[in-house]
Amino acid sequence: MTIKSLSAAALLTVSSVVSAPSFAEEITIDLWSRADRSGPLRAGNIVSAADQLNRMFEAAGSETRVTINLIETNHQGFDADALALLKAHSVGETPDIAVAAHEWIGSFVEAGLAANLEEHIADSPWFYADMIPELWTSVMYKGERYGIPQDSEIRMFFVNNDILRAAGYDEEFIDELPGRVDRGEFTMFDWCDLAADTVEKGAAKIGWVHRPNVGPDFQMAMASFGIDIYNDDEAKLQITKSGLTEYYSWLKYCVDNGSLPADMTTFSWDSTHAAFRGGDALGKFHGIWNVGAQMEAFGLSNADEYFDKITWIHAPAAEEGGDPKNLSHPIVYIVGETENKDLAALLVAMASLPVPNTEHAVTTNHTPITYGQVAMPEFQENGWALVAGTPLLARAEFMPNHAKIGQYNAITYTGVQAVETGEMSPEDAAEMVIEELEIELGDDVIILD
């Protein structure tokens, strides 16, 4: 398919969408996006798409022009941004397009913010037919699609090989590690023992660090302990007391053996990053977009140097023979339920084409949304980390798109805090968390065993 025919197709769709162009010469599309250095092109690609569209209009002799009104917020994190977006929506300031974390789709649909895109997707196979099918799961709510995946990622424990070497582990051990994790031979507890060992031997100052606030990484760890967060049949969140207790016991084990700082949850992001990038910590539990900053911090210049320095592993299985887990947390485009929604959807479609999307993926270290992208020269040259990361996607799961997932995450995180700081025993914390979940989420959560 040539660009020309694509443009023609786009133009055709547009002229049918904007059916009263004689007076509507300028259409303003409000685009809501969180300022985020890990993805300026999420908004930028929409702007470019509008530029393209305007050139098509001009070529066709049409007077219609599309302007993008950028609303770029400075919220700290996607949860805060999603709440602000809902607030704006509730006072009638619904944007036509929004960039958001996928798990908020449930809330957006319930609030009447996000438009149903089933028809648009079905009508636009040119744009979407090559999408990696699993990614569609991330935009589903009650069986229908309400967003377009913008990127994907994988999460992992980053391991500093030099610290392992300094602690006396040989190359064979390092090379074998990912395989052992994948086969379920190396467990979460082994991970903490390993980290504690490097601290004892003086090779590391800190064993390992995780994120200092609520976030998707913890769901990945919970999954390793057999907690299946979502009940598809009933469309409800769920939790098991035994799984939660085990998960918290593991955290306590790690704090007690000295591999995890007791005040991890009061760290700033800055000191969390510094702990690993400064060579103080053996491991860091985070995501693939860290690669750029790690290359810079350790002074590495290519893939070989990088993988000589760093090893990636999944969240290991909780017990030997179990399954390791990974979690992908796509960012998605939402089309607002506004009068411009068809045009907005089209702009989203154009911004999701391989060329612009690859530019985002490669510059910010995010995995692609279509199969075709991986074959692109740009990807082959600059996307080595992503190509290397793609096998990890095999273990990836998504967070459920449930309206109360934000609260669920926040409450389970308070348990993490309580256990790590030594305030509560794992059993008490699990009890407290389950009580809070019952109180705050009511019918939306199922408590198993």
Partner 1 sequence: MADWERLAQRSTLGRRLRLGALSVFLVAISIPIAVPYIWMVMIAFTSRRGMAETGTLWPALVVILAGLGSYGATYLWLRRERPAIAVGVIVALLLGLILLGQDLHLQNFRFMVNANIIEELDGQGTAGGQFPWVWEAFANSLILAGTQTVIVVTVSTLAAYYLSRFSFRGRNTFLQSLLVLQAFPAITLVIPIFLIVFWVGLLNTLYAPILVLTALELPFFIFIMKGFFDAVPWDIEMSAMTDGASRRQAFWMVVLPQVRVGMIAIGVFAFIKGWEEYVFVNGLRTGDSYWVMSTYLYYVQEDVMGVDYGMVAAVAVLYVLPALILYVFCQKYLTQMTLGGVKG
Partner 2 sequence: MWSRVKPGARVPRDLRLVKPTRQRLDALLFLGPAVALMLAFFVSPIVVNILVAFSDMNQTVRFGEFPTTEQFNKLGKVDPEALLGIELRGSFYRALALTATFVVLTLFIFNVTFALILALTTTAVPERMGAVFRAIWLLPRMSPSVVYALLWLWVVDSTERGLLNQVWLLFSAEPLNLRLDHPMAVIVVANGLIGASLGMIIFTSAIRSIPDHLFHAARVDGAGPLSIVRHVVLPALRWPISYITIYQALALLVSFEYIFLIMGPSRSTMTMAMLSYTKTLAPGIGGGQYAYGAAIALILIVVGIVVALLMWRLTNMKSLLQRPRIEVN
Instruction: Give the span between the Cα atoms of 346 and 17, in whole angstroms.
Output: 9
Decide which of partner 2, partner 1, none touches 414; Cβ closer than 5 to 8 Å per partner kind.
partner 2
Decide which of partner 2, partner 1, none touches 235; Cβ closer than 5 to 8 Å per partner kind.
none
The reply to whether 33 sits near partner 1 by the rule CB under 8 A is yes
By CB under 8 A, which span of 41-49, 106-114, 341-349, 412-420 interacts with partner 1?
Answer: 41-49
Decide which of partner 1, partner 2, none touches 390; Cβ closer than 5 to 8 Å per partner kind.
none
Instruction: Give the span between the Cα atoms of 83 and 406, in whole angstroms.
Output: 10
Residues 6+ apart with CB under 8 A from 176: none
State the Cα torsion 308-272-396-296 to the nearest 10°.
-40
The reply to whether 101 sits near partner 1 by the rule CB under 8 A is no
The reply to whether 447 sits near partner 2 by the rule CB under 8 A is no
Decide which of partner 2, partner 1, none touches 423; Cβ closer than 5 to 8 Å per partner kind.
partner 2
Decide which of partner 2, partner 1, none touches 8; Cβ closer than 5 to 8 Å per partner kind.
none
The reply to whether 49 sits near partner 1 by the rule CB under 8 A is no
The reply to whether 72 sits near partner 2 by the rule CB under 8 A is no
By CB under 8 A, which span of 188-196, 291-299, 363-371, 418-426 interacts with partner 2?
Answer: 418-426
For partner 1, the closer CB: 160 or 238: 160
Candidates 207, 354, 406, 426; binder of partner 2 (CB under 8 A) is 406
For partner 2, the closer CB: 111 or 387: 111
Candidates 8, 17, 60, 84; binder of partner 1 (CB under 8 A) is 84
Token code pair at residue 92: 């009638």
Candidates 22, 233, 439, 443; binder of partner 2 (CB under 8 A) is 439
Of 53-82, which residues contact partner 1 (CB under 8 A)? 70-74, 76-77
Size of the site for partner 2 (CB under 8 A): 40
Decide which of partner 2, partner 1, none touches 36; Cβ closer than 5 to 8 Å per partner kind.
partner 1
Decide which of partner 2, partner 1, none touches 33; Cβ closer than 5 to 8 Å per partner kind.
partner 1
Instruction: Give the span between the Cα atoms of 215 and 286, in whole angstroms.
Output: 10
Of 187-246, which residues contact partner 2 (CB under 8 A)? 213-215
CB burial readout 252-270, b (16+ within 10 A) else e: bbbbebbbbbeebbebeee
Closest separation in Å from C-beta 436 to partner 2: 6
Contact call for residues 238 and 438 (beta carbons, < 8 A): no
Of 265-324, which residues contact partner 1 (CB under 8 A)? 268-270, 273-274, 293
By CB under 8 A, which span of 1-9, 37-45, 247-255, 409-417 interacts with partner 1?
Answer: 37-45
Question: Which neighbouring-strand residues pair with 327?
Answer: 397
For partner 1, the closer CB: 11 or 410: 410
Closest separation in Å from C-beta 36 to partner 1: 6
Residues 6+ apart with CB under 8 A from 396: 134, 154, 326, 327, 328
Closest separation in Å from C-beta 202 to partner 2: 16
For partner 2, the closer CB: 271 or 390: 271
Decide which of partner 1, partner 2, none touches 330; Cβ closer than 5 to 8 Å per partner kind.
none
Residues at the contact surface with partner 1, assessed by CB under 8 A: 32-33, 35-38, 40-41, 43-44, 46-47, 70-74, 76-77, 84, 87-88, 91, 93, 268-270, 273-274, 293
Residues at the contact surface with partner 2, assessed by CB under 8 A: 75-77, 79-80, 83, 86-87, 89-91, 107, 110-111, 213-215, 262-263, 265-266, 268, 271, 403, 406-407, 409-411, 413-414, 417-418, 421, 423, 432, 435-436, 439-440
